[in-house]
Amino acid sequence: MEHLSVNQRAWNSLADSGSLFARTATDEECRTPLKSLDGRGWLPDSVAGLRVLCLAAGGGWQSILYAAAGAIVTVVDLSDSMLELDLRESRRRGYHVQTIRTSMEDLSMLGAESFDIVHQPVSTCYVPDVQPVYREIARVLRDHGLYISQHKQPVSLQVSHRNERQQFVIGLEYYHQGPLPSMTDKAYREEGTTEYLHRLEDLVGGLCTSGFVIEDLREPRRADYTVDVAHFGYRGRFIPPYLRIKARRQTRTTDEHSAAVSPAGLWLPR
């Protein structure tokens, strides 16, 4: 589990040094929180009173916006410093946000079917296997609950460098196993972290086999035709960096429901 301690340290340090990903929600964004969170209309018209899990989403952005929209918010993250931002901002704004420090594949402290929405920003790249993460999300989401997630596209992580003609070279095999090696091309890689490539069959197919139905899938556009070749917008003309997925928890069968709320072997009084 070395990746966990490496990533915890790296994200503490990114948060403490004011990373772009540790940018808290602004007053302006809080005025229209649902619009700030979701430009695609994937969220319901109101989340007031809904139980929302912001997964691997420390940093005081998602949590604060959901709280501003009236949701009951829990944030899970591996990094104390990222969670500290959620606590600081929620106190400052008078919201209550519950923070839990754990890894995304162990949500055992959270009850089955206890959330209406799980919102996970880019973070599955920090664990070697997405299946245990999907399994936990499927457990904690209620039937028909919404799971919104964003992931790094495998092709973006395969780029090793540019050649002399500024073309992007795929230097890493699609079937690479284990932590990603260091690359000359550092776009969309966070300093000091250990990351993993997940193939589309795992990211997308894995959702379908974990009890979800995919309702929409987008590739956020990062192409910019006005910038020079060094800019990430130029890279975005060739390689989509992210995948954004809207998935819905399928209805559990009666047996699945009973197993979720009363684990096998546990004696329950009549």
Ligand X SMILES: C[S@@+](CC[C@H](N)C(=O)[O-])C[C@H]1O[C@@H](n2cnc3c(N)ncnc32)[C@H](O)[C@@H]1O
Q: Which residues bind ligand X (CB under 6 A)?
A: 4, 7, 11, 21, 56-59, 61-62, 77-79, 82, 103-104, 121-123, 126-127
Q: Which is nearer to ligand X, 12 or 160 (CB)?
A: 12
Q: Which is nearer to ligand X, 162 or 218 (CB)?
A: 218
d(CA 125, CA 179): 10
- Token pair of 167 as six digits: 């073309």
Min separation Cβ 215 and ligand X, Å: 22
Residues pairing with 128 in the sheet? none
Is the distance from CB of 53 to CB of 147 less than 8 angstroms?
no
User: Based on C-alpha coordinates, what's the Rg of the chain?
Assistant: 19
- Judged by DSSP in three states, 200 sits in helix
Min separation Cβ 16 and ligand X, Å: 12
- Token pair of 109 as six digits: 């402290």
d(CA 158, CA 154): 6
Q: Which is nearer to ligand X, 123 or 252 (CB)?
A: 123
Q: Which is nearer to ligand X, 35 or 161 (CB)?
A: 35
Min separation Cβ 144 and ligand X, Å: 25
d(CA 193, CA 36): 27
Min separation Cβ 30 and ligand X, Å: 15
Instruction: Specify the amino acid at residue 217.
Output: L
Min separation Cβ 193 and ligand X, Å: 7
Burial class from Cβ neighbours inside 10 Å (0-12, 13-18, 19+) for residue 155 reads middle
Q: Which is nearer to ligand X, 63 or 252 (CB)?
A: 63
Is the distance from CB of 223 to CB of 236 less than 8 angstroms?
yes
The gap between the terminal CA atoms of the chain, to the nearest Å, is 41
What is the torsional sign of CA 91, 97, 98, 103?
Answer: negative
Q: Which is nearer to ligand X, 24 or 210 (CB)?
A: 24
- Token pair of 203 as six digits: 């990211």
Q: Which is nearer to ligand X, 207 or 252 (CB)?
A: 207
Min separation Cβ 264 and ligand X, Å: 27
DSSP, res 132 = H
Min separation Cβ 174 and ligand X, Å: 23
CA distances, 242 to each of 54, 151, 157, 166 (Å) = 18, 6, 10, 21
